[in-house]
Each structure stands twice: as structure tokens, then as C-alpha cells.
Amino acid sequence: MAETPLQNPGTLNLTAKAKTIYAVLMFVGVITFLILLMNNPERAWHAYLTSFFYFVTLAVGGLFFTAIHHMTSAGWSVNIRRFSEAMTSFLPVAFVGAIALLLAGDYLYSWLNPEVVANDPLLQHKTPYLNRGFFWIRTIGFFGIWLYFAKILVGRSLEVDKTGDDKTTLSLLKPSVIFVLLFALSYSLFSVDTLMALEPHWFSTIFGVYCFGGMFQSTMAFMILTILYFMKNGQLKGYVDENHLHDLGKYMFAFTVFWAYIAFSQYMLIWYANLPEETIFFMPRSHGSWMWVSIGLLVGKFVIPFFALLPQWAKRTPVHLAAVSVWILIMQYVDMYWLVYPNLNHDEVVFNFSEVLIFAGFWGAFLFTTTRFLSKNSIVPTKDGRIHESMHHHVVY
């Protein structure tokens, strides 16, 4: 008996209601930011940086996953690749956001203040790297790299949807390899420039790797939630099943452990050496109300998801996997907040609805760009030559 042909998965039906919700979220976020900017500009820009880095991480994470897919000539992930590609559509918006961040750098980075630098020998020593001009060049350069490779990797993938040319798919191997190499350097330095440089006296040789661990963990969480949405409405029937979810769940579990390993390594080495220029980062985070955030981060970002994802069934049960994914995305924000806000107030936690609403504005922009991409392009690259490998993907461990 011949196999029943699969229905065309089509595109996302981006409703007017959804667009309205995104618009409201963005409007509320902008208004909240402007009000806070007038009353407390330093806090406004710290809230901005926290949410900005969070969503840049998701966008770049989607591009990294796409590149790894092509670099390894993976077949199993063909039917879920479009969702990682969709995440990269936020990058142009993020670039505009980066320019705003550069213009407001004086509210965040003490090393941009000439008077502070003039009275600080250590900052004078770091001036060749920590200076306004080079900061601008690096940031624009990083986004230039990401946007360029997003255009190549995603653009050619969409081209295959029209032509079905396997040569175009194979041509993505070389740029993917180049991107992964550049990504390792650019994302690490971007993390150093925007987050670690908030405390210019502190340094860590694995800070970029720490941020990368959270990036991949949260990227998997967002992809899982998006895929589950389309599975629920039936558009992925026959294309994606619990085997794909299982592999994404394993990735999320693996990087839960990886993040904890890097976080512990960073803390343990600094604690063991007990050097003032290193402990300056952990001192405020180990006292007062910040200590509870630190403990909550350890439990919430490692212990809970570790045990929640450990059983095999946990990675194949949609409702359970969705709950863990939502939890991980929440804890990723806590992590970004923990990295940024002690720079604003070393003594106590500062948090209210202002931070939530500014985050909601970024969330609305990210969802709008991602869903608009999926509404214009097929949610499954049906003309990719390796699609049958993905459709018959089975996990046996």
C-alpha cells in the first residue's frame, strides 16, 4: 500500500490579534522605559541591557544552531531548522538596539568617563581595549558578522525552498564552518564588552563560555516551545515527532550541566585564588539579598532542570518538556539580571514591574520578528534533500 502523502505544512497564520498583542507589548515596554529613563536613567539602561542581551542571545543562538546543522550535514534536524532560522530575524532589530546601547554607554560603563580613568591606574592600563572608539568598532563589527552570515545561511536555505537544488544546500558547509569560528570569538568578546565590562576591574577567562552555556540552553528551550505550538495545531504532523523533541531535550539537559560546570569552575578558581581583582565580582553577590538570588540561580538553573530532564520520558512528554522550557527561559533572565544589576546596586536587589514591562517590550519585538518570518516562509524546508532522514528519525537511547 502506498504511503499517504503528507499535507504541506504551510506557513504560520499570523493573526491580527497576535499582531495587536505584540504591538501592545512593544508599546508598553517603550513607554515604561521612557518613564523610567526620565526618573532614573541608570536603572532604565540597566533594565534595557538585561533584556537586550537576553534576546540577542536567543537570536545568535538560533544562528549558531543553524550553522552547526549545516556544518555537520545533519539530517535529523532538517524539519526543525526553520525555527532556529526564524530566531535570527531579530538581529536587524537588535542592531538598532545596540546603537542605542552604545549611545547610552556612559550610564553603564565607568571606563567611558575620562575623569574616572584619569584617577584609576588599572583602567588606564586597559585603555587600549576599553575605550569608546574601539567599543563602537567592535560592537558594530560583531553585528556585521552575524547579519552577514544570517543572510547567507538563512537566505540560501529559503532559496532551496524554491529551487530544490541540493548544491545550494551543500554550499552552506563552508560559510557555516567560518561562522562557527568567528562566532566563538565574537560572542565571547560581545559578552565581555557588554556584561563583564560593567565591572572593569574584574576579569574572567571563561566568562564568554559561561554566557555561551546559558545561550544554548535557552535557545533549545525557545525552539522546543515553538515546535510544540506547531505540533499542537497539527502543522508538523508527519514531519516532527517525539524523537526530535527528545534530541532537543537532550541538548537542553546537556547544556544545563555544561552551564553549571562552567559556573562552578569560574567560582571555584576565583574562591581558591582569593585575589581582590577577581573576588570583586562575587563579593556583592555573596552577601545580603543578592546571596539569595545566587542560591536561587544555582537551584533554578541547574538543580531543578537537571532532575526534571534526567528521565528519558521527560524529554518525550510535550507538557512536561514545555514546562521545563518555560522555567529555563525564566531562569535565563534571572541569570542576566544577576550579571547586570549588582553593578547598579551592590547592597540590595532592585526589581519591580519596570523591569518586567521593559522585558515585555523586547519580548513583543522578538515574537513579532520571529512569527513574521514564519508567516512568510514554509515552517518546514520540504525541498531539502535530507528531509526524509528527518522524517524517519528515531532515538534509541
- Binned average pLDDT, 10 residues per bin, the chain of 397 residues: 62 94 97 96 97 98 96 93 97 97 94 94 94 96 98 95 90 96 97 96 93 97 97 92 95 97 94 86 92 96 97 94 98 97 93 95 97 96 90 79
CB 326 within 8 A of CB 225: yes
366 grid coordinates: 522578538
In the chain, what is the greatest distance between 2 CA atoms, to the nearest angstrom?
82
Whether 276 is in a domain gets the answer yes
Q: How does DSSP assign 202-237, residue by residue? A: ---TTHHHHHHHHHHHHHHHHHHHHHHHHHHTTTTT
pLDDT value of position 278: 85
Q: What distance in Å separates the CA atoms of residue 138 and residue 50, rounded to the nearest whole number?
A: 19
- How many C-beta atoms lie closer than 10 Å to residue 199's C-beta? 17
Whether 396 is in a domain gets the answer no
Any idea which residue has 562575587 for its cell?
282
DSSP state of 196: G
- How many C-beta atoms lie closer than 10 Å to residue 18's C-beta? 16
Number of domains in the chain: 1
Q: Length of the chain, please?
A: 397
Q: Smallest Cα–Cα separation from 46: which of 105, 108, 99?
A: 108
pLDDT value of position 334: 97
Q: What distance in Å separates the CA atoms of residue 249 and residue 230, rounded to the nearest whole number?
A: 17
CB 271 within 8 A of CB 277: no
Q: What distance in Å separates the CA atoms of residue 381 and residue 378, rounded to the nearest whole number?
A: 6
CA separation, residue 80 to residues 4, 65, 175, 265, 319 (Å): 22, 11, 20, 33, 19
Whether 11 is in a domain gets the answer no
Whether 397 is in a domain gets the answer no
pLDDT value of position 6: 66
pLDDT value of position 274: 86
CA separation, residue 144 to residues 38, 172, 368, 369, 373 (Å): 32, 19, 22, 19, 20
- Give the count of alpha carbons within 13 A of 247, CB side only: 17
85 grid coordinates: 532560522
First to last CA, the chain: 31
Which residues have C-beta within 8 Å of that of residue 394, sequence separation ≥ 6? 243
Q: Smallest Cα–Cα separation from 145: which of 93, 186, 204, 104?
A: 186
Whether 4 is in a domain gets the answer no
DSSP state of 112: G
CB 367 within 8 A of CB 55: no
- Give the count of alpha carbons within 13 A of 177, CB side only: 6
Helices (H), the chain: 16-39, 41-71, 81-87, 91-103, 114-118, 121-125, 132-163, 166-170, 173-194, 207-232, 242-273, 276-279, 282-285, 288-298, 304-309, 318-340, 353-376, 387-391
Whether 281 is in a domain gets the answer yes
CB 247 within 8 A of CB 224: no
- How many C-beta atoms lie closer than 10 Å to residue 370's C-beta? 23
Q: Smallest Cα–Cα separation from 252: which of 214, 282, 207, 293?
A: 214
What is the C-alpha R_g of the chain? 22
Whether 9 is in a domain gets the answer no
pLDDT value of position 396: 67
Whether 343 is in a domain gets the answer yes
Q: What distance in Å separates the CA atoms of residue 197 and residue 207, rounded to the nearest whole number?
A: 11
pLDDT value of position 64: 98
Domain that holds residue 176: 16-391
Q: What distance in Å separates the CA atoms of residue 310 and residue 143, rounded to the nearest whole number?
A: 36
